[in-house]
Amino acid sequence: MSKYIDIAVNLIGSALEKNIQDVIQDAAAQGVSPLIVIGSELNESEQAIACCQQYSQQLFCTAGVHPHHASEWQADSSERIKRLAAFPQVVAIGECGLDYNRDFSPRPMQRQAFEAQLALAVELQMPVLMHERDAHEDFLAILKEYRHSLPGALLHCFTGNRQSMQAYLELDLHLGITGWVCDERRGKELAELVIDIPDNRILIETDSPYLLPRSMRPKPKSSKNKPQYLPYIAEYIADLRGQNHQEFAQRVYENSVNFFGLNQTDDLSIKRSGSYEAP
């Protein structure tokens, strides 16, 4: 069975939280383990760490402030994230970035929180997991100031156009692809672009419980997306790219291990390495 790492799971505060053990076990039964749990604000990041401690080596997480929560950014937020990042369960700073689609937080505050988290990732030499929606120009301008000093940068749930994809690849970003690519309506452009993402820059994710792959047959009874569906997404993308399913799965698994600085121990368990090195 192929191995997978779901690089973005919204486990805390979502419809998945009440059945965490089942979510983990069902995913592992399909070869999907560990899961990277997203921290989208500071309290949620703390809860994610506690959850990861309970399910050691099955869960890792990020710590950060999503642009939707940028209005909650305080003078001590960077220090709080820094303390959280010291926990071995935390493998990236984020989810941070810009979202001009919903504008749940004022744009100046989004930019402030984004820059502060990029600076922190540089200081700690940790990879950063990012979000961008309808904010390409500002996002790119800010990121360019820090990218040369970041050990790794991932734009998760990429759904942009060819121009933005090329700009991000020129900055050596990793791009996370979700089940959005399986939607024959909204994902048509992404299905064309995913072919041209270099083998060493592509990662896969469910972003569950959101973005259930529209093309799944039989269609799951629940509308909730789950990490256990990641192999379906991987095979769909491999077919688009004309690649062998197992070889593609192995490549994106290795990309994920390298990006998040994870080590596989002799007993086949996964742990965070002591230091991060960009692939």
CA trace torsion 230, 233, 235, 240 (10° rounding): -160
Q: Which amino acid is at 127?
A: P
Residue 61, φ and ψ in degrees, nearest 5? -150, 170
Distance CA 241, CA 115 (A): 35
Q: Does 95 belong to an annotated binding site?
A: yes
User: Hey, which residues does 99 pair with through a beta bridge?
Assistant: 133
The single residue listed with the structure tokens 């089940």 is: 179
* One-letter-per-residue 3-state SS of the chain: CCCEEEEEECCCCCCCHHHHHHHHHHHHHCCEEEEEECCCCHHHHHHHHHHHHHCCCCEEEEECCCHHHHHHCCCCHHHHHHHHHCCCCEEEEEEEEEECCCCCCCHHHHHHHHHHHHHHHHHHCCCEEEEEECCHHHHHHHHHCCHHHCCCEEECCCCCCHHHHHHHHHCCCEEEECHHHHCCCCCHHHHHHHHHCCCCCEEECCCECCCCCCCCCCCCCCCCCCHHHHHHHHHHHHHHHCCCHHHHHHHHHHHHHHHCCEEECCCCCEEECCCCCCC
Q: Which amino acid is at 238?
A: A
Q: Does 99 belong to an annotated binding site?
A: no
Q: Does 156 belong to an annotated binding site?
A: yes
Q: Which residues are annotated as a binding site for a divalent metal cation?
A: 95, 131, 156, 207
Residues making up the annotated binding site are 95, 131, 156, 207
